[in-house]
Structure 1
């Protein structure tokens, strides 16, 4: 066996001496999707990695119970390892057992990613640790994270307005304050929402979360957007809520205005059927979320655009590997978003800045979030975020903002510690059940 070389003073300074995990509940508006409605608060996990030299790196990922059960033992294993040993994270994660009962026949994040597996769970947890290590490494080296990923190829990253059907407020008794956006439950409401996004943030492309109402109503909403914003890129995402015939019907009705149609139906086989006749590119963040799912989807031409997400794929470096595979196969690349805070948005922006083939504006829920844990919110200008040259991620954790969100998690009786959009809907409609897919 080859002996381990002695650590240099520099490597000792980069050794992890402590890892802090802080689960939080962050306010979320009543956004509708095919499964139900967002809860008043959604769980997130904030990761802090502290080096022997006192440098702290931060990361963020999902905070549901099943993620915490894996994150806690993994955090203990990181102590004594270098923040530069990113490959070693995967080996350490493999040493941590996953509670099979948590993932067997379950779905992830409100059912909007597809079937959960132990590997997907590990990758989502790893993403938060990898980002925290990269942040600490960058701060110690005086380099931005994008430099550690090979260097930026753009100075600004474009984002898209993420439109939702929504209620003005959460159901009475559900908690959560109004965010002032008002309701959007018809085409006029969707257009008004888009106008506010454009005026406030300068977004020039628009994505509507569908699968909520009858397809014809959602077709009408996209048509109304096309009339109000002629020539602008438009997208529609029903999260697999439609059958193949319904998907083809919507594609035919909207192919002249859609930039792409995202996950109209569920599963690679059905997506391939739709793609063969849709006449509009199909995108996914549901049937291609791991490397093992790429071969079938690409060889069957089931998808023409993959929405990457470093939380799904195991971090920023894996996101770059995914981008290279997409480039090889001529598959377009965009970026998926779920409810997230400024740490994740900063990480998204760093990796997006390094990917040459970022073909479409990225998604982001960030404008919907009224709370954050960083000292200064990131600001969209002309629908873009500037790529920072500050060391690490370029954002700092504000413990005064973090503490009340963690207290909210501690005070919760367990009802909100696992995201469940169907349960949230039952507060308004006690007879609501998780819809059978396809709904239409």
Structure 2
């Protein structure tokens, strides 16, 4: 039998396409989402003409690193994914803010130059895995060791929300309406359940005083008895407030996510309450794991392949969590279908994934794919097609890139506080703890 000819997996070109995608006026403790949010689409092409795609944050600081990174990637093998991290270290990048402030773009804790590098590497790694899968005729999950489930469960991601962006702001229309009280949150949850079949619900908190958000969770529990519920105030509470709310909602919460900032404060809350604590803020790097696990500060780590450095690092994180008896699930920020496909592939390979994953995808009315990924009964079916199993809609990609080109810089960097000042000119990002 004649062996198949070897594929030439040399990277011959990399395309970076920054885009602006519509985002609804979703509220959080920092402010409100802007009408448009930046994303970066990465395409890696091999000598055989195979192209893989990836996606990550599109803010200026990510682009400044991605561009020289893309230049250095040409001529390398798509199989050399370990080398992506060495390559990132070779690329010069301006010093990033490393104080204790919350990153307003991601609400994921202290931002460092290393986290920035990993967020960029993740998009290139996904693109390389997609290209390799297409070249070999294998789905990405097979390259990660094989799937252990045929569909991945996701949770409805509920937000306090305005009916529309402030007057005079460009915006795409949506039919979700406002949600500013318990009744509005319950109505939003019903819409998520009817449209997508979600059976668990997460509320983004830290927007209103804790008693108001506690009432919303209680209303959800009454409307959807037995459904797993989560509350995420993004570190807006003191330890005392966190303990109080945990006591009031302990009978209905699956877990409480980042009620307060920092591992020591989370550990204190954990010691004083029986409610499991989840995080995507105090454990966002491998270096942060020992303290958090040793002090019992978190019971569920919410991974995010974007800032953990890709899909293979996500599996590594899941294995560490399993070793120490800590739960694992997935965090989500505003993202499109490429990222959802990547999340689904890696989630399909994690045996100890016992909590539904987060996803902003239902909030995004725009995408760069020829076909949107679908939620059925709250789940996304794991594709067995080569690579990620998605196809770029190049015309739509050009349109969203054109929006980025036409922008005067207002939306090229996500800033929830600046967006809030359009409606409330005196708005200042609240100090934490806020309550």
Residues of 2 paired with 1:222 and 1:383: CA distance?
20
**What secondary structure sits across from 2:132 in the alignment?**
helix
In structure 1, the partner of 2:403 is 408
Instruction: Give the match for residue 156 of structure 1.
Output: 151
Residues 241-294 of structure 1: per-residue CA shift (max 9 Å, x gap):
000000001000000000000000000010000010121000000000000000
- How far apart, CA to CA, are the structure 2 residues paired with 1:64 and 1:138? 28
For 1:314-393, list aligned pairs within 5 A.
314-393=309-388
Does the CA-based 8 Å contact 2:104-2:417 persist in structure 1? no
Deviation track 1:199-257 (CA, whole Å, cap 9, x = no partner) reads: 11000000000000010000000000000000110000000000000000100000000
Query: What is the rounded CA distance, in whole Å, between the counterparts of 2:266 and 2:110 in structure 1?
Result: 16
Greater Cα shift, 170-179 or 128-137? 170-179
**Mapping 1:215-226, distance limit 5 Å:** 215-226=210-221
Deviations 1:161-217 (A, max 9, x none): 000000010011121022111000000000000000001100000000000001000
SS at match of 1:360: coil
Equivalent residue, structure 2, for 1:228? 223
Aligned residue number for residue 6 of structure 2: 10
Question: Using the alignment, how far apart are the partners of 2:398 and 2:106 within structure 1?
Answer: 29
Cα distance in 1 between the residues matched to 2:420 and 2:399? 26
Conserved in 2, the CA contact under 8 Å of 1:169 and 1:177? no
For the residues of structure 2 that align with 1:90 and 1:276, how far apart are their CA atoms?
37
Asked whether the equivalents of residues 156 and 189 of structure 2 are also in contact (C-alpha less than 8 Å), the reply is yes
Secondary structure of 1:103's match? coil
Asked if structure 1 preserves the Cα contact closer than 8 Å seen for 2:304 and 2:332, the reply is yes
- Which of 97, 119, 123 is the aligned partner of 1:103? 97
Q: Cα distance, 1:110 vs. partner?
A: 2.7
Distance in 2 between residues matched to 1:320 and 1:205, nearest whole Å = 24
Structure 1 spans left out of the alignment, 5+ residues = 1-7
Q: Which residue of 2 aligns with 1:177?
A: 172
Aligned counterparts of 1:178 and 1:272: Cα–Cα separation in 2: 43
Question: Would you say the 8 A contact 1:35–1:110 is kept in 2?
Answer: no
Q: Aligned-pair distance for 1:312?
A: 1.1
Runs of 4+ off more than 6 Å: none
**2:73 paired with 1:78:** yes
- CA offsets, 1:315-354, max 9 Å, x none? 0000000000000000001100000000000000000000
The answer on 1:418 being equivalent to 2:413 is yes
1:364-421 superposed Cα distances (whole Å, 9 cap, x missing partner): 0000000000010000000001111100000011111101110111111111111100
Residue number in structure 2 paired with 1:143: 138
Distance 2:345 2:121 in 1: 17
Whether the 8 Å CA contact 1:168–1:178 is kept in 2: the answer is: no
Contact 2:133 2:140 survives alignment (8 Å): yes
Aligned residues, how many? 431
2:87 is the alignment partner of 1:92: yes
Superposition pairs for residues 289-304 of structure 1, below 5 Å? 289-304=284-299
Residue 434 of structure 2: aligned partner: 439
